Amino acid sequence: MDKNRDIILITGATGNQGSAIAYQLLSNGCRVRAMTRDPQSAASKALVADGAELVKGDFGDPESLEDALKGV
């Protein structure tokens, strides 16, 4: 894995486990795409402020998953 090139998708990125993983990866210089159902939430905005790319997605919406997975 090339952490400067490869993108890691974190689902549930604003939840307890997902956000912990996202922040750990970001702190190690990895590129993170954070998937969330609510991109306007405070937790979503905090992830963006720390360098994550945000994508709206929901497991009940297969098209949103296809979009979230592009390039990862």
Q: What is the CATH number of the domain that holds 32?
A: 3.40.50.720
The answer to whether 13 and 22 have CB atoms below 8 angstroms apart is yes
Q: 5-61: per-residue pLDDT in tens? A: 899 999 999 999 999 999 999 999 999 999 999 999 999 999 999 999 999 999 999
Determine, yes or no, domain membership for 44.
yes
Structure tokens, 3: 């952490």
pLDDT of residue 52: 98
Say how many residues make up the chain: 72
Tell me whether residue 52 is in a domain.
yes
pTM, two decimal places? 0.90
How many Å apart are CA 4 and CA 56, to the nearest integer? 23
The C-alpha atoms of residue 1 and residue 46 are separated, in whole angstroms, by: 26
Segments forming the whole domain that contains residue 59: 7-66
User: Is 72 within the bounds of a domain?
Assistant: no
The number of domains in the chain is: 1
Torsion sign, CA atoms 36, 38, 44, 48: positive
pLDDT at position 62 is 93
